[in-house]
Structure 1
């Protein structure tokens, strides 16, 4: 009997998520099917079903991976409020140009609205947790005001998420540089002691 290593299982999961991203970009979020994802990944539908119950779950997992990856890959030196704000603005810039995020906002408005207005998703919880840790470090060094770090991080998430979602709407007023400056200013003033 052949055993499967954890790396192979993770690689297969990433392969399926990569296929979901490609399908969403090519077909639009609302037209992606589990069969299309499986076909694009080169695996059977039961292989996909062993990991995710439906297409929406796969797409949500792909979004979570994309957003958390963006947060972890944007390296900002230092600690405290300024580092947190710089990282948040850099991640917002990256996600505003991310093709998967654009596909959700363009062709998956029902899915987007769930995570905008109804409930937090895995990626949002992850970002709040990562942000809260940095905010707590900023409180410890005196650069962030007092308050529950998770609550402050959740508010920063709302501000930043709104900026990402609505950037196109105000593009003629706030070009990319101005949008980044104003987001940084907003977060700085919100977090400053």
Structure 2
């Protein structure tokens, strides 16, 4: 249940940090036991550390969960980059990756949305009785994870504007609206699952984003 920042030692050749061990333990508990049964003492036990070790880093379970969400969202964002590179390669639509076109940008936004929608920790929080935890850390305030998403979206939008396939406008304002569109689509996925099967869900989200961003 670890993120790309906390892969097992055998896979990376490096031992996990204490922070990652604690967050991995919290993730395991949330997924398998639920939010209400995730207690700081059990997090410490599963992580193989003392309770004071956890308290020195985070004051309570909510703070641990906030740090876990930030880690998992930013790791997902890193795995499915929203912006191009400067390698000289080209996108499927013929644009240099360093100057990304709108359709490729939207494809990447949809991919990030799918990964976050299907993420076991976010899913467990979203569908739990304590879903207000997820709302607090993902919806009601701009934390580190939200700012990371906005910055990646802003960069991708600027590249699309340079390419000429994304309309003019303040990039951070466009990024904020793209985040709202994708975020609300992810949160409401289960409600409309019978009406929007997987292929349609991806297609219609891409259509909404392309329509919003097109010149």
Per the normalisation by structure 2, the TM-score is 0.80
Q: Does 1:88 align with 2:109?
A: yes
Q: What RMSD in Å do the two structures reach over aligned CA positions? A: 1.9
In the TM superposition, what whole-angstrom CA distance separates every residue of 1:99-136 from its partner, at most 9, and x where no partner exists?
A: 10111112121212324653233211110011111111
Alignment correspondent of 1:188: 210
The answer for the alignment partner of 1:158 in structure 2 is 180
Write the distance in 1 (CA, Å) between the matches of 2:148 and 2:36: 25
Higher relative contact order (CA 8 A, sep 6+): 1
Point out the structure with the larger helix share. Answer: 1
CA offsets 1:64-118 (integer angstroms, 9 cap, x no match): 1111111111257532322221111011111221110111112121212324653
Residues 1:69 and 2:90 are matched in the alignment? no
Runs of 4 or more above 6 Å deviation: none
**TM-score, normalisation: structure 1:** 0.89
2:147 matched residue in structure 1? 125
List gaps (5 residues or longer) in structure 1: 1-7
What is the DSSP-based 3-state SS (H/G/I as helix, E as strand, rest coil) of the residue aligned with 1:31?
A: coil
Residues 47, 9 of structure 1: alpha-carbon distance in 2 compared, 3 angstrom cutoff: farther
For structure 2, list consecutive stretches of 5 or more residues without a partner in the other structure.
1-13, 83-90, 92-96
